[in-house]
Amino acid sequence: MLHSRKILLIIGGGIAAYKCLDLIRRLAERGASVTPVLTRAATEFVTPLSVSALAGQKAFTDLFDLTDEAEMGHIQLSRLADLVVVAPATADLMAKMATGQANDLATTLLLATDKPVLIAPAMNVRMWEHPATKRNVTALQNDGVTFVGPNEGDMACGEFGPGRMSEPLEIVAAIGAKLADGPLAGKHVLVTSGPTHEPIDPVRYIANRSSGKQGTAIAAALAALGANVTFISGPADADPPSGVKVIEVQTAKQMLDATQAALPADAAIFTAAVSDWRVSNVAGSKIKKGESGNFPALDFTESPDILRTVSKMTEGRPQLVVGFAAETDDVLANASAKRVRKGCDWIVANDVSPETGIMGGSENAVTLISEAGQETWARMKKVDVARKLAAKIAETLA
Ligand code: C5P
pLDDT score recorded for residue 303: 94
| Residues 311, 344 contacting (CB under 8 angstroms) | yes
Q: Which residues line ligand 1 (CB under 6 A)?
A: 192, 252, 270-272, 274, 276, 303, 305-307, 323-325, 338
| Ligand 1 centroid from CA 80, angstroms | 47
Ligand 1 mean position, distance from CA 304 (Å):
9
> Which of ligand 1's atoms lies nearest the C-alpha of 302?
21
Please give the average per-residue pLDDT across 56-61, as a whole number. 93
Residue 183 has pLDDT above 80, yes or no: yes
Single-letter code of the amino acid located at 133 = T
Separation of 379 CA from ligand 1 center, angstroms?
A: 23
Which of 202, 191, 182 shows the shortest CA–CA distance to 238? 191
- Catalytic one of 80, 157, 261, 337: 157
Domains by residue range for the chain, with CATH:
6-178 (3.40.50.1950), 188-397 (3.40.50.10300)
Distance 261 CA to ligand 1 centre (A): 18
20 is catalytic: no
pTM as predicted? 0.65
Amino acid at 184: L
Identify the helix (H) or strand (E) that includes residue 268: strand 267-270
pLDDT average, residue stretch 64-79: 74
Q: Are 126 and 162 within 8 A, CB to CB?
A: no
Q: How far apart are CA 317 and CA 104, in angstroms?
A: 42
pLDDT tens across 286-340, in order?
988 876 677 888 899 999 999 999 999 999 999 999 999 988 889 999 999 999 9
What is the C-alpha to C-alpha distance for residues 337 and 343, in angstroms, rounded to an integer? 10
Does 160 score more than 70 pLDDT?
Answer: yes
Which atom of ligand 1 is least distant from the CA of 323? 10
Any residues with CB less than 8 A from the CB of 37 and at least 6 apart, and which? 8, 9, 10, 11, 59, 60, 61, 77, 105, 106, 109
Q: Is 290 exposed, middle or buried (0-12, 13-18, 19+ CB in 10 A)?
A: exposed
The answer to whether 106 and 17 are in contact (CB under 8 A) is no
**Per-residue pLDDT reduced to its tens digit, 353-363:** 888 887 778 88
CB count, 10 Å around CB of 139? 16
Is the pLDDT at 15 greater than 70? The verdict is yes
User: pLDDT tens digits for 225-278?
Assistant: 888 889 999 999 888 876 677 889 999 999 999 999 999 999 999 999 999 999
Listing DSSP states for 320-382 in one string gives EEEEEEEESSSHHHHHHHHHHHHT-SEEEEEE--GGG--TTSSEE-EEEEETTEEEEPPPEEH
Which of ligand 1's atoms lies nearest the C-alpha of 326? Answer: 4
Would you give the end-to-end CA distance of the chain in angstroms? 21
The predicted model gives 69-98 an average pLDDT of 89
